[in-house]
Amino acid sequence: MKQTYLNNASAAFPLAPGVIEAVHKSLNEPPRISGRDVGAKDDSIKLCRMKLALLLSVDENRIVLTPNATYGLNTIFHGIGLEQGDLVITSIMEHNSVLRPLKMLEDNWGIRLQYIPLDDEMKLDENIYDSLLNKKPRLVVLTHASNVTGRINEIKRFFQKAKSIGVLTVLDASQTVGRIPVKADELNADMVVFPGYKGLRAPLGCGVLYINPDVKLNQSYSGGTGIKSDLLVHPKEMPLRHEAGTPNVHMFSGLNAALDFNFENFDKITQKEAELKKLLYQGLSDIEGVNIADPDFAESLPIVSFTISEMEAELVGFALMEGFGIECRTGLHCAPLLHEALGVSGTIRFSPSFFNEEAEIEYALSAIRKIINENNK
């Protein structure tokens, strides 16, 4: 049975060329960490930081290497100095990696949360956002693109409004880095978080946090660094300020290789993924009984969520995997507020990548048609 992977919004597969070889090489060499061990001259930690800085057009010393985006978001929320009564603006599009830490701070610390809803065009409601900014928030936290619908948000304009009144901005770029340009200053983002294993196609277990030089977060973690070991307190300077313990050198070796591939092929990646997205949207739109969550694909990533009339999403996902070898994602996709707004209890999500072919999209569309026909018999 043909195997087709359409779950790249969760984690990329296959990984970028050179990633597996880089991880294997790292695992077969004595472990050495830059600044700690003799012989660690060109290790993945140093190289990753340099390349990530180039990717975001920022100072490499402001790049913090993390296990994932969730770690970076928690570092921000617990380090920014939020107090009882402080207002944080976010949106109903957010992933639980944003929603849950903020909800915990609301419950435990007494911060106030306000959520930007969708307007009639399925965009974040800018009029509501403007009214929320008048309430003098401390922080605005927004996703660059929905992991459910792929919708790309007007981050540059939204964040510019926030910064014009002195409000700090946090960008969750988990879905966009590696797929569209993400330049921190151009987007007016004070802080940016993302994992390496989605759009960059690196292994699980590596993430990134960027912190603007004008922002100083309180330290949430402390421990070994291998540097300035005479101090009984954790070093205060960046990026060590937010990096404690031994990093996952092997996975960052993979990220280092993945970044090389992305730099060399970025234009090809964006062009092909746009073509696959168009084919997927148009194909699903032509199938009777399919309801696409966000039918406007002009400003979106290749992420398409849909439902099938009178069929449970989980059952469709099971049929796709067991009957056709198609791996996708079904359910709430860790974004419960967006599903509530969409009026559905879960969706089927197809998220192809650069490594998929048009024939695989056609195969998935054919599978959906067959499942619907079988259900209607």
Q: Rounded mean pLDDT of 10-39?
A: 85
Task: Name the nearest CA neighbour of 43 among 247, 241, 328.
Answer: 247
Confidence of residue 124 (pLDDT cuts 50, 70, 90): very high
* Domains of the chain with bracketed CATH: 4-13+266-376 (3.90.1150.10), 19-260 (3.40.640.10)
Nearest-10 crossing angle of helices 126-133, 155-164: 20
Whole-angstrom distance, CA of residue 266 vs CA of residue 270: 6
pLDDT top residue among 232 and 175: 175
Distances in Å between the Cα of 174 and the Cα atoms of 135, 152, 200 are 28, 12, 10
- 121 close to 77: Cβ distance less than 8 angstroms: no
Are 279 and 227 contacting, i.e. CB atoms less than 8 angstroms apart?
no
**Which pLDDT tens digit goes with each residue over 339-348?**
999 999 999 9
Decide which of 31 and 239 is more confident.
239
Interval 90-95 mean pLDDT: 98
Global pTM value: 0.95
Please give the residue that has the higher pLDDT: either 114 or 244: 114
- Residue 371 exposure: Cα atoms within 13 Å on the Cβ side: 28
- % residues pLDDT > 70 (the chain): 98
Tell me what pLDDT residue 36 has.
53
Using the predicted structure, report yes or no on whether residue 31 has a pLDDT greater than 90.
Answer: no
User: pLDDT for 33-84, tens place per residue?
Assistant: 765 544 545 588 999 999 999 999 999 999 999 999 999 999 999 999 999 9
**Summary mean pLDDT of the chain:** 94
**For the segment 244-303, what is each residue's pLDDT rounded down to a tens digit?**
888 899 999 999 999 999 999 999 999 999 999 999 999 999 999 999 999 888 889 999
Contacts of 179 (CB under 8 A, 6+ apart): 199, 269, 270, 273, 301
Share of the chain above pLDDT 90, in %: 85
